[in-house]
Structure 1
């Protein structure tokens, strides 16, 4: 009887050890996607109770993956370092969408008069130099933890006035050139939100993603974290 009891206890101990090892292995294999940036990701207040980007992303993630949100509505490039400082120790992948608010804060330049196209371009060049400096600081902060990083272009939005929308698209392309050049230098993945959120239904208003737009963004994030290989030269650009 004593021998049988010892054998039973030994088997139980082995089972508990195996379960603990399995749990440790599952924890080691857990992937954690963290969203950094602005209201492109932090869009819950704009979707009228429907799933936002984080909810959509969590619904698409495979078993063994999780997602969390550090992005804050209204954030600009200088806010990224503070978001990165709040990263949890189990973060495995970072996705950052920032720069749109920096650009919007300078939209008055579109109405500023100039004497020539050359003068207007010179004005834009100075603005873009400022943006590039602040954007590089944001990327450097996001790269500091040493985790795979995917960044996003600035989308065109859904501005109701066609003439204003055209000017915004032209200006956004200049800001996006900065983003793509930085991504290429650092071999980062890029989500081209201009192609991902390309329909009016993708927007809850002029500048925030709707729930359907959020779903497109979430699915693009899934592709990005699964496909990007930092050993490849240049940037991996993912669109629709």
Structure 2
């Protein structure tokens, strides 16, 4: 029996244009796949959560496993809140709470659409960005933690394995720029996907954390 993994989402997987001098995630994954496995890339650079629903419509009939990375571009789309004037810390937190609630709702509904395919599925956290300015990086990472909470809760509530890219891509060399994985980062991401595919069957309904 052959198995086929399909990658859905954004440039975390579709990073070929950022690693001209090295291998992208798909190249690393293809090299590491066990015998009898193949892979397909439906993820597309720039995609937001609503685009994942369109990617689902193009799933190959032979698909047996899914891995999804989504939410990073949605977060980028609301990042202007970090520079907005504020009357108080409480005022800023309320704005972030509004963003979090909308993000959580959209993430959960999109993940449910993915899980409706009834295939073994893993999802990814949003990794910590690598802005060169220390304060900007700290602000962005702190804000992303609020949205990653949505992803962690969605995984836990649905018993879905979570590939924690914050832990996996933990070096500046894992990034081709502030927000895209390098060849080195792509190799780590591919290895984590392999860990998902080759792990022993987990107990049904229990979430797992994959960090390498």
Aligned residues: 212
Contact 2:130–2:177 (CA<8 Å) still a contact in 1?
Answer: yes
1:96 aligned counterpart, secondary structure: strand
- Match of residue 45, structure 1, among 14, 17, 20: 17
CA distance in 1, matches of 2:172, 2:87: 35
1:73 aligned counterpart, secondary structure: coil
1:218 maps onto 2:203 in alignment: no
CA distance in 2, matches of 1:49, 1:69: 20
CA distance in 2, matches of 1:236, 1:228: 12
CA distance in 2, matches of 1:186, 1:228: 19
Aligned to 2:68: 96
CA distance in 2, matches of 1:79, 1:133: 16
| Structure having greater relative contact order (Cα 8 Å, sep ≥ 6) | 2
1:147 aligned counterpart, secondary structure: coil
Contact 1:154–1:176 (CA<8 Å) still a contact in 2?
Answer: yes
Superposition pairs of residues 180-195 of structure 1, within 5 angstroms: 180-195=152-167
Indicate the structure with greater helix content: 1
In the TM superposition, what whole-angstrom CA distance separates every residue of 1:75-101 from its partner, at most 9, and x where no partner exists?
A: 000111110110011101000000000
Q: Given the superposition, is the C-alpha separation of residues 39 and 33 from structure 1 closer, same or farther in structure 2, using an over 3 Å criterion?
A: same
TM-score w.r.t. the length of structure 2 is 0.97
CA distance in 1, matches of 2:61, 2:33: 20
In the TM superposition, what whole-angstrom CA distance separates every residue of 1:179-236 from its partner, at most 9, and x where no partner exists?
A: 0000001100000000111101000011000011000000000001222745344420
1:162 maps onto 2:134 in alignment: yes
- Match of residue 144, structure 1, among 109, 116, 123: 116
TM-score w.r.t. the length of structure 1 is 0.86
Aligned to 1:57: 29
Query: Which 10-residue stretch deviates more, 155-164 or 132-141?
Result: 132-141
Contact 1:228–1:236 (CA<8 Å) still a contact in 2?
Answer: no
Contact 1:202–1:214 (CA<8 Å) still a contact in 2?
Answer: yes
CA distance in 1, matches of 2:157, 2:149: 12
2:73 aligned counterpart, secondary structure: helix
Aligned to 1:207: 179
Contact 1:43–1:53 (CA<8 Å) still a contact in 2?
Answer: yes
Contact 1:191–1:220 (CA<8 Å) still a contact in 2?
Answer: yes
Whose radius of gyration is greater, 1 or 2?
1
Aligned to 2:104: 132
Contact 1:187–1:234 (CA<8 Å) still a contact in 2?
Answer: yes
Contact 2:160–2:205 (CA<8 Å) still a contact in 1?
Answer: no
